[in-house]
Amino acid sequence: MKTQTRRKSISKFIFLIIIGIFSSSISFAQPNEPVEKWKGKTILLIGAHPDDDHQSHGTLALLKANGNHVYIVTLTTGNVGTKDPKLSQTDLAKIRRQEQVDAMKEIGLSEDHYVNLGYDDGRLEFANKEEVVGKLVHYIRKFKPDVLMAFDPGYNYQVWQKSDHRAAAYLAADASRAAEWPLMYEGDIIQDKLEAHLISEYLFYGGNITDKNTIVDISDFANQRVEAGTKYISQWTSGWSDYLGPDINKYPAGEKEKLYKKVRNRIKVIDGKSVERFRYHKGVPDTMGHAPRD
Ligand SMILES: [Zn+2]
């Protein structure tokens, strides 16, 4: 019994050391200046679907309110995300674009800060990678972001994400890498008069909690995030299987309350504050997925 207890406390000790080493190697990379204090930066968020940015809407609203420039590039139209047999892919792509633009308005972003690359939902992995990366490189060189927000490709390992998210994580990472080399996709530079662009700050979303080293206090922007989230009627209401248009009041009784509750409940609360968590990385794109090496 005694030995067992000792063994247990030894393994607990080893576990704590491992956690300590792990968290110190992750935490050193937190931004020197908290995200809440950022001003005058350009932020580009790359997502797979026209609602992937929602989990960062509080941060995007905060950044916009603080005088940063925020752009969103979505890779697919979201044209298969429904169980409603009445909707075609074309219908759904239109509905989801409008939902996205309406959501962006709630967090202070206009449609001219939104680009949809038009790939098919659910099949991003099978799209021509060179073409997708080339398009992303173009927008990186055009918007010149200081900070890239993207699905986390992983830190010292690969994060398993569902297919389009998995693809979007790597495509964004590969594009940020390619954008800095002038001889890569040089058509942008020769024909479009753009310049090679190096992104040296990253805020990754969608990764594992243990990798997240940055907490953004979105308390003052939580309501904006909620209002934005309630625009995704085709995704988060009974409109998922029976779409009745963009007005929540046309849906069965109680739907509106349910939607607001659902969207509100998705916001993490730590110490009474509404927060969004990210893995922050500072450095050249090549190092975004691993700790410093010899
Ligand atoms: Zn998605």
Q: Quick check: 42 pLDDT over 60?
A: yes
User: Does residue 4 fall inside a structural domain?
Assistant: no
| Cα 37 to ligand 1 centre (Å) | 29
Under the banding of pLDDT at 50, 70 and 90, the label for residue 75 is very high
Structural domain containing residue 95: 39-287
Return the ∠ at Cα 110 (arms to 258 and 73), rounded to 5°. 85
**210: which residues sit within 8 A by CB, 6+ positions away?**
22, 23, 26
User: Does residue 5 fall inside a structural domain?
Assistant: no
User: Does residue 134 fall inside a structural domain?
Assistant: yes
Number of domains the chain is built from: 1
| Cα 293 to ligand 1 centre (Å) | 33
Q: What is the mean pLDDT of residues 26-46?
A: 88
Distance CA 187, CA 182 (A): 10
Say what the pLDDT of residue 133 is. Answer: 98
Under the banding of pLDDT at 50, 70 and 90, the label for residue 290 is confident
Q: Quick check: 26 pLDDT over 80?
A: no
User: Does residue 11 fall inside a structural domain?
Assistant: no
Residue 211's CATH number? 3.40.50.10320
| Cα 238 to ligand 1 centre (Å) | 18
| Cα 57 to ligand 1 centre (Å) | 14
User: Does residue 190 fall inside a structural domain?
Assistant: yes
Under the banding of pLDDT at 50, 70 and 90, the label for residue 9 is low
* Cβ-contact 207, 159 below 8 angstroms: yes
User: Does residue 26 fall inside a structural domain?
Assistant: no
Q: Quick check: 57 pLDDT over 80?
A: yes
User: Does residue 9 fall inside a structural domain?
Assistant: no
| Cα 15 to ligand 1 centre (Å) | 34
As given in the structure block, the two tokens for residue 68 are: 């940063």
pTM listed for this prediction: 0.90
Q: What whole-number percentage of the chain has pLDDT above 70?
A: 90
| Cα 165 to ligand 1 centre (Å) | 6
Say what the pLDDT of residue 293 is. Answer: 77
| Cα 259 to ligand 1 centre (Å) | 18
Supply the DSSP string of 53-120, one letter for each residue: GGGGHHHHHHHHHTT-EEEEEEEE--TT----TT--HHHHHHHHHHHHHHHHHHTT--GGGEEEEEEP
Q: Quick check: 28 pLDDT over 90?
A: no
Say what the pLDDT of residue 27 is. Answer: 46
User: Does residue 109 fall inside a structural domain?
Assistant: yes
